[in-house]
């Protein structure tokens, strides 16, 4: 399909959100509203991609540092038609169609945009708008048709008569416009209305006069929903979650209770992975095949290789599991944790900046930080790497096949040579040579007949 130019309007504050954050930066499934639209329109490979910003312009731009966006500044938000006028200089020299979208309708689909373009081209329209039907059309512009059903104009809610307010066919805010005729129409739009704003929907009435306006009706209203307040944001969050779950189900992922899980839109999940109830999978997370994610786990910015079992109530952030690992329940893996294949971490263990070698086990109640651990190490219950002296962090190195007894402190910086054994209750403060036994506790003594000698 021939390409087009795309213009996204994102200058408004979003007053109804009641937020100090610009509306288009509010996240939905872990990605800003505007990010969803950019993600969709990029798939059209537009010849030019222009975004109009105004409110918190710098912050919005900074959120999308990727190349390929022409940013246009609208100093005052005088209305959607004014926003488009501000972008005209950046569209100069561009011919053909311009798709105009709002930054606050994040769930629009590529197929819908393609059929809009196709319809517009087939009918050789000057302007085509996408409409839908809503049971509750409050807040939207209404599509006004004549008795023969032909489009006349769009009226905004605040300017509508009681009869017009009862109309349920609404303007989606998505338009396809002939770029050559656009400037001439924009000049004719005035702010003579209830909101004293330049309304972009007024384009339709102008094009109707020139017999080149069209409407494409889109059945699936939810994907055209705009986010104007927090209730609408929550409705779309749920809708998108259902879409994402369905997408992963169709690729062979089981969700035991889909409605209790939440996943970011960029998460990837491998086939035959099973996800138990109440799981959160945050942005930048990749899960391999045949994994089992137990209930109440929260996993963010992490890579989970295939065949992993993550038992209930684990918390992972910035962790990498190479594959066939078993962790939890109640394990906390902080940024910089890397588990080589088959390494295991059990209950009530915290790991941070720790590389754990293949087959090593840290099964109970331990803190391992700033550590490099070799293969087949056994870490006993209650082992602590004392990595912080109050000012600096220090490293612990544990070589292959070391055995660490329970209730042990490893005061960093320190190295434990391969196959060394650390006796239970030991505080290690200096390097342990390979194959040695390190014990620092005092020898056990007995006082005979203590039972009788004890004061009663």
Site for Ca ion contains 201 (CB under 5 A):
no
Based on the residue annotation, tell me whether 364 is a catalytic residue of this protein.
yes
- Interaction partner, residue 307 (Ca ion, ligand UD1, none; CB < 5-8 Å by kind): none
With beta carbons less than 8 A apart as the criterion, state whether 416 and 398 touch: yes
Residue whose CB is nearest to Ca ion in the complex, by number: 226
Q: Quick one: which segment of 171-179, 317-325, 340-348, 405-413 binds ligand UD1 (CB under 6 A)?
A: 171-179
C-alpha 163: how far from chain center: 42
- Interaction partner, residue 357 (Ca ion, ligand UD1, none; CB < 5-8 Å by kind): none
Name the minimum Å distance from CB 98 to Ca ion: 19
- Interaction partner, residue 199 (ligand UD1, Ca ion, none; CB < 5-8 Å by kind): ligand UD1
Site for ligand UD1 contains 156 (CB under 6 A):
yes
Site for ligand UD1 contains 83 (CB under 6 A):
yes
- Enumerate residues 195-214 that contact ligand UD1 by CB under 6 A: 199-201
Site for ligand UD1 contains 173 (CB under 6 A):
yes
Instruction: Compute how many residues bind ligand UD1; rule: CB under 6 A.
Output: 29
Name the minimum Å distance from CB 265 to ligand UD1: 19
| Residue 386: both structure tokens together | 């004392």
Angle, CA 274 vertex, CA 360 and CA 40 arms, to 5°: 110
Nearer to ligand UD1, 131 or 366 (CB): 131
* Contact map string, positions 94 to 133, toward Ca ion, x by CB under 5 A: ----------x-----------------------------
Give φ, ψ of 39 to 5 degrees: -60, -40
Nearer to Ca ion, 13 or 228 (CB): 228
With beta carbons less than 8 A apart as the criterion, state whether 244 and 158 touch: no
Q: Which residues are tagged catalytic?
A: 364
Which residues contact ligand UD1 (rule: CB under 6 A)? 9-12, 52, 74, 77-80, 82-83, 102-105, 140-141, 154, 156, 170-173, 199-201, 226, 228
């Amino acid at each position: 399909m021939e390409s087009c130019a795309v213009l996204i309007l994102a200058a408004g504050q979003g007053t109804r959100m009641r937020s100090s954050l610009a509306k288009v930066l509010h996240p939905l499934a872990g990605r800003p509203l505007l990010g969803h639209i950019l993600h969709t329109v990029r798939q059209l490979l537009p010849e030019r991609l222009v975004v109009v910003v105004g409110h918190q312009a710098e912050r919005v731009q900074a959120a999308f540092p990727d190349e390929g966006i022409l940013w246009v500044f609208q100093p005052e938000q005088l209305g959607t038609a004014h926003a488009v006028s501000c972008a005209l200089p950046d569209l100069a020299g561009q011919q053909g169609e311009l798709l105009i979208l709002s930054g606050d309708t994040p769930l629009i689909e590529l197929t819908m945009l393609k059929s809009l373009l196709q319809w517009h081209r087939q009918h050789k329209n000057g302007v085509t708008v996408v409409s839908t039907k809503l049971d509750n059309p409050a807040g939207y512009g209404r599509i006004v048709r004549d008795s023969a059903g032909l489009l006349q104009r769009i009226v905004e809610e605040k300017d509508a008569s009681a009869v017009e307010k009862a109309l349920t066919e609404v303007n989606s805010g998505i338009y396809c416009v002939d770029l050559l005729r656009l400037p001439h129409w924009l000049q004719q739009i005035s702010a003579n209305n209830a909101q004293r704003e330049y309304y972009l929907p007024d384009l339709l009435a102008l094009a109707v006069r020139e017999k080149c306006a069209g409407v494409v009706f889109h059945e699936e209203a939810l994907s055209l929903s705009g986010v104007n307040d927090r209730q609408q944001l929550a409705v779309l969050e749920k809708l998108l979650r259902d879409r994402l779950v369905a997408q992963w189900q169709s690729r062979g992922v089981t969700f035991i209770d889909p409605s209790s899980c939440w996943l970011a839109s960029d998460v990837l999940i491998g086939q035959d992975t099973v996800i138990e109830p109440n799981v959160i999978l945050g942005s930048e997370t990749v899960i391999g095949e045949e994994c089992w994610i137990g209930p109440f786990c929260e996993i963010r910015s992490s890579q989970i290789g295939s065949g992993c079992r993550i038992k209930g109530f684990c918390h992972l952030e910035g962790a990498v599991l190479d594959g066939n690992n078993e962790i939890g329940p109640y394990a906390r893996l902080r940024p910089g944790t890397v588990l080589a294949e088959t390494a295991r971490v059990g209950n009530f263990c915290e790991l941070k900046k720790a590389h754990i070698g293949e087959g090593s086990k840290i099964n109970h109640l331990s803190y391992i930080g700033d550590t490099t651990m070799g293969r087949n190490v056994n870490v006993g219950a209650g082992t602590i790497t004392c990595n912080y002296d109050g000012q600096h962090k220090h490293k612990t190195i544990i070589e292959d096949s070391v055995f660490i007894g329970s209730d042990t402190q490893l005061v960093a910086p320190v190295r434990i040579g391969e196959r060394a054994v650390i006796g239970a209750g030991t505080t290690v403060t200096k390097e342990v040579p390979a194959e040695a036994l390190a014990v620092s506790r005092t020898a056990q003594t007995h006082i005979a007949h203590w039972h009788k000698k004890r004061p009663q």
